[in-house]
Structure 1
Amino acid sequence: MSAEMGRRSGGQGRISQWLRGRRPRTDSGDDSSGREELLLAAAGAGLPLAPAAHPSAYRCSCDRVGCPTPARHPVSFAWQTQSTTDRAQIERWARHQPLANFITATGMVHDVLDVPLEAGQEALERLLALGVEVGPVAVSGGDRMLFFTATRGTPEDEDEWWPCELDCHPETMDEHPGLRWHCRGSYVLVPPARLPGDLTVEWVRGPEHGLPDPLSLLEVLTDECARYAGVERDHVAAWPLRG
């Protein structure tokens, strides 16, 4: 307890320093070799990838008027079957679509626990201090933190699945300010990605870190989400429950 209080009262930790040190990205995606290397590293770690939309001015590159998730969605409706870890295919996509973002389909090899940035930052500091094995972690858009974990797989008993509020689709993000568990049928952007307004998706901990069991992170993440919700959301629950 004293160690945690010291951490909270003693100023920001190394994760906070990293976040403060980030500078807005102003390039137009011209670092093609670095981008391709990061994408191949993600695929090499087993994350299946598929091309996604990208920013076009302050809008989305897709032709949908008023796109609700600009630069955050796949370009193909077949993204689940299209997603792959094949190196040659990813190289072709990256070279033929130099501005494209990429999504990674969850629920195949990995899940993603998606939390508010402030809650994720505190949780990551706590987990590392406790010596818990933490896998890849990314910051998305300056307001969310993504914890990549092993997938829960497909249990024999379908009743073992979490309620749908924890199985959120990216399009419902504004309605779910707490923890979102991306598993089967969902996706997240994989770094490096660009968003409108010079926002980015970047690794805090790269895909070289192994994927942990999601349950090993869940208690700390939900604790910090509840704390965040109580302070920032006027005591809204860490995830919404329907009556």
Structure 2
Amino acid sequence: MFNVEETIAGPQAAPIPQQRGGSLLEAAVRYVQERHWDVFPGTWLEAVDGMPRCSCGRAACRMPGAHPVRQDWATQATGSATVVRRLWAGQPKASILLPTGRTFDAIDVPETAGFLALARMERMELTLGPVTLTPDRRMWFFVLPGASAKVPDLVRNRGWSLDSLDLSALGEGSYVAAPPTRYAARGAVQWVRRPTDANRWLPDAEELISPLAYACGRDR
């Protein structure tokens, strides 16, 4: 059974939350073997003068410990458990990043709107895929590939202006960080709805866009 940081927990108090190499490697292998998701290693956290800094070395890094190491990261993403073990053996603290636009896209909304929409979706008994919550208070709803191309028109067709909503879709050329990846000292990416056999088949963006856009509109 999939069991990687599967419940929401509070942020860690330590300056650099502990990121066990074994758990990162094991999680990456599970994503490949159990979900058939491609993965690739990202940056990680290091202590500099007692403060958490991204391994990229940039003091003003916008996503410390959770962004690609290489510009050609898309070619590094792999669905091979053997390659995953080799990559994380080289850097056990590397974050786990998942490319979007392959086996899934992700709809990105603020945490408040995401939980509001999620409650409404559950009352509507909609089919849902995995959902993550990030330390910077964003939620990612996993949907079928192609969402990034369709979402702008889907939003406009429902009477919303995409520019007025804090909603976007991540597709080809983008990526999301997967549990148990951590951002700086703010905590870990966590599952709101963890991957299970029941949500192996992902919904289309069109099925979720109305409650998500409505919730984002209320959250403005």
Considering the TM-score relative to the shorter chain, is it more than 0.5? Answer: yes
Deviations 1:91-110 (A, max 9, x none): 22223311110211111221
1:90 paired residue number: 84
Separation in structure 2 between the aligned mates of residue 51 and residue 107 of structure 1, nearest angstrom: 17
Separation in structure 1 between the aligned mates of residue 121 and residue 63 of structure 2, nearest angstrom: 31
1:46 to 2:36 alignment: yes
Count residues with an aligned counterpart: 195
1:24 paired residue number: 11
Separation in structure 2 between the aligned mates of residue 84 and residue 220 of structure 1, nearest angstrom: 33
1:171 paired residue number: none
On the 8 A contact 2:147/2:169 being kept in 1, the answer is no
On the 8 A contact 1:116/1:177 being kept in 2, the answer is no
The within-5 A match list for 1:120-135 is 120-135=114-129
Deviations 1:57-115 (A, max 9, x none): 33211133422332231111111111111111112222331111021111122100011
Separation in structure 1 between the aligned mates of residue 69 and residue 131 of structure 2, nearest angstrom: 24
On the 8 A contact 2:54/2:65 being kept in 1, the answer is yes
Identity percentage of aligned residues: 31
Q: Equivalent of 1:179, from 161, 167, 170?
A: 167
Cα RMSD of the aligned pairs, angstroms, is 2.6
Unaligned runs of at least 5 residues, structure 2: 1-6, 156-162
Give 2:127's aligned amino acid: E
Alignment TM-score, normalising by the size of structure 1: 0.72
Separation in structure 2 between the aligned mates of residue 176 and residue 138 of structure 1, nearest angstrom: 23
Deviation at 1:162, TM superposition (A): 5.3
On the 8 A contact 2:24/2:96 being kept in 1, the answer is no
On the 8 A contact 1:74/1:102 being kept in 2, the answer is no
Q: Equivalent of 1:111, from 105, 113, 117?
A: 105
Deviation at 1:130, TM superposition (A): 1.2
Moved over 6 A (4+): none
Separation in structure 2 between the aligned mates of residue 89 and residue 176 of structure 1, nearest angstrom: 42
The within-5 A match list for 1:1-243 is 19=8, 22-25=9-12, 26=14, 27-30=17-20, 32-44=21-33, 45-56=35-46, 57-152=51-146, 178-208=166-196, 209-210=199-200, 211-229=202-220
User: Structure with the greater relative contact order (CA < 8 A, sep ≥ 6): 1 or 2?
Assistant: 2
Separation in structure 2 between the aligned mates of residue 176 and residue 200 of structure 1, nearest angstrom: 29
SS at match of 1:58: strand
Alignment TM-score, normalising by the size of structure 2: 0.79
